[in-house]
Chains A and B, each alone.
Chain A
């Protein structure tokens, strides 16, 4: 029990070190000299030699990579992600200020996706290979194939502009949250529907389901009590894994609905070349993503005793 756990911790820390290096290393992909490029784009005119040197010295960009990186990492481990180049505010407080809106959206989108996906997946599986099944699979296919920003604009057009039911953009109230949550939740729902269906089909062929039937348990009870519970185990894990999907989606969807969140913070910082913010947001999301995946793995072992407890790499 201990050895696989240690091995897992070992590879986890290796991955986290790699993640932080890649995150910090982005700056060096900048064409030409980062300090020069940043200053030129900031003022729309070429900066002087001495200005570039001053900027470098101020932000530690004149040190060798490893020195810069380890200084940044030590600070980051203490919760200090540096200062934004342009907004005179620490990156940590910017991230913390934008986090609640993104979390709220993530949670709401997950709820929307489960509300759509679980019933659809179950009904699909129960009526396997009938027109009901085929229609719901077709709808799921449409769901994964739609660009989420496009769906967002269609919803704004119909619900906000034509029907006047919700505000066009912004954040704060439940009314602001509905459309972004549906936009983001639909794509997720499509994936979860497929999973619920597959998982349900598998469970419905298990022996204990037949046993329940042979005891004369009503079919409805067999499906919704005996089968569904076990069919939802893998769904719990995929919902965890959808974290990456949500962050990817937030980058675009928050912009569509003009919601201030981690996604809009990142996109604005990328265009402004405000690298400390970019590095901060990327580090926070990647670390959260890695840890979520690990927790999901552990949750899976806890929920399903049949899963091998050894290292499954």
Chain B
């Protein structure tokens, strides 16, 4: 069976080269990657470079506009916004990646079980997926996080319980589309055990679609974390977090518009970078999607 794998790789390589406006796709991916890279460096290095403590209150320096000492100004408690932004980047990126990973694992498992576990398992699991998708996502996450109690951990739990269904659908669909292909059938005929079938023959085909979905998903999760924190369910003061920073600045809109502006721009850049990366990855990695588009065009 291993002999079949290089040929699929070649196939994939060919689609990769054939993916149409190559220059543009690459430009988008490069831009997305560059923004993401800057953000990661900002999150990793920013806190140790900054001379300020993100939570120490300096009341004589409150509501100061951008200056050399405070490039993005200070908030109502005199805290340096650039410093809080850097610490907040750690929180946002870590939470978004964590929630996305949990979604991915739950969704992939459910999708695999549904596609390979027989009719009854499939029906039950896919109804479960339908039920999850029946709720507007943020509403469900808001309620779960609220009932569990406000904390960052509970926001991750809530967002993980909410977003897995689309992974399950994608994984189930991909497995169903390759289930009858000769290499899977012959592996089954050879009596390959389930876990081996999944690991050797199915998972390699799921990497691309799941990776694309996950990359696009990180942006959505960043927005959701910020939204829930803005409402008061996520990070609790004085933890620096982007959504909370916007909530803190809302009473000083006129006097100090920079408090609200800076974290909003940070959230937007993060979401843009993951959207660009995800779109680019899809064009480059996901032959199904390309084929689908080409088929529809003819």
A residues apposed to B, CB below 8 Å: 11, 14-15, 18-19, 22, 26-27, 29-31, 129, 141-142, 144-151, 153-154, 156-157, 161, 202, 205, 243-245, 247-248, 251-252, 255-256, 266-267, 270-271, 273, 278, 282, 285-286, 289-290, 313
Contacts and interface: CB of A to CB of B under 8 A. Distances in A.
A147 B139 contact: no
A42 to B, nearest CB: 15
Contact of A29 (B137, B138, B147, B271): B147
A276 B267 CA distance: 34
Interface residues of B, number: 48
A147 B226 contact: yes
A252 B275 contact: no
Nearest to B247: A149
B140 to A, nearest CB: 8
A290 B134 contact: yes
B191 interface: no
Q: Which residue of A30, A150, A290 has the most chain B CB atoms within 10 A of its CB atom?
A: A150
Interface of B: 21, 126-128, 130-131, 134-140, 142-144, 146-149, 219, 223, 226-227, 230-233, 243, 246, 249-250, 253-254, 257, 260-261, 263-264, 267-269, 271-272, 275-276, 296-297
28 contacts: A15-B130, A18-B127, A18-B130, A18-B134, A22-B131, A22-B135, A26-B147, A30-B148, A31-B148, A142-B272, A145-B269, A145-B272, A147-B226, A147-B227, A147-B243, A147-B264, A150-B260, A153-B250, A154-B264, A157-B260, A244-B137, A252-B230, A266-B139, A267-B142, A270-B143, A270-B147, A278-B143, A278-B147
B139 A248 contact: yes
B137 A248 contact: yes
A26 B139 contact: no
Nearest to B296: A202
A142 B268 contact: yes
Contacts, number: 142
A154 B258 CA distance: 10
A290 B135 CA distance: 8
Given A26-B143, A29-B147, A202-B297, A286 B246 contact: no
B136 A248 contact: yes
Contact of B264 (A31, A150, A156): A150
Given A146-B268, A150-B267, A157 B146 contact: no
Contacts of A156: 253
Contacts of A30: 147-148
Given A14-B127, A29-B148, A251 B138 contact: yes
A289 B246 contact: no
B147 A153 contact: no
Contacts of B142: 251, 266-267, 270
A282 B260 contact: no
A19 B135 contact: yes
Given A147-B227, A252-B231, A141 B139 contact: no
B246 A149 contact: yes
A146 B231 contact: no
Contacts of B269: 145
B35 to A, nearest CB: 11
Q: Which residue of B135, B219, B232, B233 has the most chain A CB atoms within 10 A of its CB atom?
A: B135
A267 B227 CA distance: 12
A262 to B, nearest CB: 9
B21 A129 contact: yes
